Amino acid sequence: MQHVLAVDAGGTKTVALVANSRGEVLGAGRGGCGDVYADPQFVAVGNAIDDALRGAGLARGEIAVAAFSMAGLDWPEDFDFVRDAMHEWLPGAALLVVNDSLGALRLGSPDRTGVSVICGTGTATGARGIDGREWHTSFWQGTQGSLHLAEKALMAVYRADLGLDPPTSLAAAFMEFYGVASVEAVLHHLTHRASVAYAGRGKLARLVLDEAARGDPIALAIVTEHGTDLGRYARVAAARVGLLGEPAFALVLGGSVLRHSAHILADAVIREVWSAAPGAQPVFIRHEPVVGGLFMALDQLGIATDDALHARLIPTLPPPSLFAT
Note the pLDDT tens digit of each residue in 172-230.
999 999 999 999 999 999 999 999 988 899 999 999 999 999 999 999 999 999 999 99
Question: Considering the domain boundaries, does residue 314 fall inside one?
Answer: yes
pLDDT at 315 over 80: yes
Cα–Cα distance, 115 to 207 (Å, whole number): 28
- Identify the pLDDT of residue 199: 85
Question: Considering the domain boundaries, does residue 192 fall inside one?
Answer: no
- Render pLDDT for 108-124 as a digit per residue (tens, 0 to 9): 999 999 999 999 888 99
Question: Considering the domain boundaries, does residue 127 fall inside one?
Answer: no
- Identify the pLDDT of residue 166: 97
Averaged pLDDT of the chain: 95
Across the chain, which distance is largest between two alpha carbons, in Å? 67
Q: Which residues contact 223 (CB under 8 A, 6 or more apart)?
A: 149, 208, 209, 212, 264, 265, 268
Question: Considering the domain boundaries, does residue 8 fall inside one?
Answer: yes
Domain extent at residue 48: 3-100+287-322
Distances (CA, A) of 299 to 75, 90, 294: 25, 19, 9
pLDDT at 12 over 90: no
Question: Considering the domain boundaries, does residue 26 fall inside one?
Answer: yes
Please say whether the beta carbons of 93 and 66 come within 8 A. Answer: yes
Question: Considering the domain boundaries, does residue 201 fall inside one?
Answer: no
CATH number at residue 96: 3.30.420.40
**Number of domains forming the structure of the chain:** 1
Task: Name the band, by pLDDT with cuts 50, 70 and 90, for residue 282.
Answer: very high
- Render pLDDT for 57-87 as a digit per residue (tens, 0 to 9): 999 999 999 999 999 999 999 999 999 999 9
C-beta neighbour count of 61 within 10 angstroms = 9
- Render pLDDT for 230-243 as a digit per residue (tens, 0 to 9): 999 999 999 999 99
118 has which bridge partners?
A: 124, 254
Question: Considering the domain boundaries, does residue 232 fall inside one?
Answer: no
Question: Considering the domain boundaries, does residue 17 fall inside one?
Answer: yes
Task: Tell me the average pLDDT across 246-268.
Answer: 94
- Identify the pLDDT of residue 325: 74
pLDDT at 324 over 90: no
